[in-house]
A and B are shown apart, each in its own frame.
Chain A
Amino acid sequence: MEPLYIITIGVMAGVAAYLLMSRNVLRMVLGLLLLGNAANLTIFVAGRMGSNLPPLVSAGETTIAISANPLPQALILTAIVISFSLVAFTVVLLHKTWQRLQIVDTEKMREAEPVESTHTVDGSEARQ
């Protein structure tokens, strides 16, 4: 089972990298989402995929000999919630940016660092 998961993770990470390198911010958000999910799958595989028995202690015993590893599930759940909230914030930020700047191309976003300021020492002169 592992090789299949590993190939999937690789493909997802590759697609995510491709999308993140795009200049369109919307594609970048999709890239972030995919990258986050590739990371989640990595945690899942890192926790080993041996048994598929639920990690429950049967009546009359105190330990379980063999079961699925419950920890990756807890970690992934945390990571999903965090990545969801961060992506939600990013989408709102991008929407707001689009409203104010009317730009989706990161190359053209030069408000914070005007291009001219790299040629002249003084950013203020460049703006005149």
Chain B
Amino acid sequence: MMSSHALLTFPIAAPLVGLALTTLLWRTPRLQRWTSLTASAAFLWSAIVLLSATMDGTILATQFGSWQAPFGISFVADNLTAAMVLITAIMAVVIAVYQLTDPEESGRPMFHPLYHGLLLGVTGAFMTGDIFNMYVWFEIMLIASFGLLVLGGTKEQLDAGVKYVMLNLVMTTVFLVAVAFLYGATGTLNMADLAHRVPMIENTGLVATLALLFLLAFASKAALFPLFFWLPASYHTASTPVLAIFAALLTKVGVYAIVRCFTLIFPVTEGLSTIIGTIAALTMITGVLGAASHFDIRKILSFHIISQIGYMLVGVALATPLALAGSVLYIVHHIIVKANLFLIGGVIKRKSGSYQLKQIGGLHRTAPFLAILFCIPALSLAGLPPLSGFWAKYLVVKPSLDVGSWYLAATALIVGVLTLYSMLKIWNEAFWKTPVMAAPAPESTGSFKAQYAAIIVLSAITLCIGLNPEPFVAFSVESANQLTDSSRYINAVLGGSNAPN
């Protein structure tokens, strides 16, 4: 049995070593690819070990530099964190595999170091127990994502990059200011200590202002209504592996931060619940309507990211244990399904030469296996039983009805139907209809093996959650119990003595 210090350090160390090694292997592309895959595999191993250590409900915590909490920087792993780290690691391996036969990023040695940099930032943001440290991990994640987005250097990417960079930099500065005000109000940055001190602030107006500042900062990271502009403006210009890892992880870090902050530091009150609930409903609707209006596969899927984020927020708004369990399950389900759809989109592009649905068609004949693979994540995204999306949506709708929040339940169901509509649009246009006369030529005839392997693995996970939901639901409920009973988190970090000086 490893010490909690080792358990909490390995998931950070693996991508960091991967970053260093892939930078050194700059001039040997083949070796660099395999090193990148090995580092991702090591990351996956450390994430599995971390999850198995927290499975029984223990919350691991460690203090870097052995400075006693709340003075040093704490790293904490409860069920939610361990699950997020594991899902990040699964995506890391799958996309590294996909990338082996994907021609888009070959010949760009900078891809792998930035890729591991992104994983490093994301994992750090999930594991840290210090709000300022979270800001630092956010920045590591951002600078890596900036690099990945504009790696191709095309006109489109540079244009998208300018907007993405500007909006994100302004919003992280808002995050920094929010951290400054919170520090001014409480005198601490440790999240467990904050959970203990924020309720002691007598000025409730100040607490509400702080909560909204954090909501503003995280909402733009999570692409919530009305702060989602940067996402559809930029995502569709990136290459498939970059797009898949962005879709899987970037917005989810924002969602994770919201879940963590609004269960631990600012428990959701009546007014806050209404605000978050309204934002969630509007996010679902605008996202799905945006998707319905587009005919570019990448744009449709990008808008769906926004729409799905709304579902994850319902649990935060309702703040009941079952609703939060729904959020946790939804995040896990969504990451797998969404990344899978983007990976399939990449194969469609390679097979048919275009992302524009109007220009392609007939793939059910030329690529029947891909058509079957497409159905699994597409129907799961729409929430059809027996796939993972059904159980995730069930855990969103049921708690909404339990607390009488019918408008959230209704929105979730209607948006589910509209999601099915745009998935059917991709199906009809790309797979079913006869190809148009002037269809573009397929791009390359090289091997698709690794790309298919990646897609099959993700589809298998979706089926696995869908057909055997019991352990996943039980795990989500246990995570939600930890989230709603914040004293467990506080005790794990501060070691029982709630009021150190």
A contacts, CB < 8 Å to B: 20, 25, 28, 32, 35-36, 38-39, 42-43, 45-48, 71-72, 75, 78-79, 82-83, 85-86, 89-90, 93-94, 96-97, 100-101, 106, 109-113, 121-125
Contact = CB atoms under 8 A, between A and B. Distances in A.
Contact of B155 (A71, A111, A113, A123): A111
A43 B233 contact: no
27 contacts: A32-B170, A36-B173, A38-B177, A39-B173, A39-B176, A39-B177, A39-B180, A42-B181, A46-B184, A75-B183, A78-B132, A78-B136, A79-B176, A89-B143, A89-B146, A93-B150, A93-B158, A97-B158, A100-B158, A101-B158, A106-B163, A109-B162, A112-B159, A112-B233, A113-B232, A122-B358, A123-B294
B295 A121 contact: yes
Contact of B295 (A45, A46, A47, A123): A123
A32 B159 contact: no
B169 A90 contact: yes
Nearest to A46: B184
Contact of A110 (B159, B166, B177, B358): B159
Given A79-B176, A86-B139, 6 more contacts: A47-B183, A75-B132, A93-B146, A101-B155, A122-B358, A124-B295
A42 B180 contact: yes
B296 interface: yes
A11 to B, nearest CB: 15
Contacts of B169: 32, 86, 90
Contacts, number: 114
B136 A82 contact: yes
Nearest to B132: A75
A25 B162 contact: yes
Nearest to A31: B170
A97 B233 contact: no
A123 B296 contact: yes
B176 A122 contact: no
B356 interface: yes
Most chain A Cβ neighbours within 10 Å, of B132, B293, B354: B132
Nearest to B139: A82
B97 interface: no
B378 interface: no
A43 B183 contact: yes
Interface in B146-195: 146-147, 150, 153, 155-163, 165-166, 169-170, 173, 176-177, 179-181, 183-184
A72 B180 CA distance: 9
B458 interface: no
A28 B153 CA distance: 21
Given A39-B176, A112-B237, A47 B159 contact: no
B142 interface: yes
A100 B161 CA distance: 13
A82 B234 CA distance: 23
B159 A111 contact: yes
Contacts of B143: 85-86, 89
Contacts of A20: 166, 170
Nearest to A121: B295
A121 B159 contact: no
Contacts of A93: 146, 150, 158, 161-162, 165
B159 A97 contact: yes
Contacts of A45: 184
Nearest to A87: B169
B358 to A, nearest CB: 5
A25 B150 CA distance: 17
A20 B155 CA distance: 23
Contacts of A90: 165-166, 169
Contacts of A71: 183
Nearest to B188: A71
B500 to A, nearest CB: 14
B358 A97 contact: no
Contacts of A36: 173, 176
A112 B173 contact: no
Nearest to B142: A86
B365 to A, nearest CB: 23
B359 interface: yes
Interface in B112-167: 132, 135-136, 139, 142-143, 146-147, 150, 153, 155-163, 165-166
A93 B184 CA distance: 35
Nearest to A74: B132
Contacts of B163: 106, 109, 112
A96 B180 CA distance: 34
A89 B165 contact: yes
A13 to B, nearest CB: 9
A124 to B, nearest CB: 4
A46 B183 contact: yes
B334 interface: no
Contacts of B146: 89, 93
Contact of B153 (A39, A94, A96): A96
Nearest to A82: B139
A127 B335 CA distance: 33
A46 B181 contact: yes
Contacts of A97: 158-159, 161-162
B165 A42 contact: no
Contacts of B147: 89
A83 B170 CA distance: 11
B358 A125 contact: yes
Interface in B14-64: none
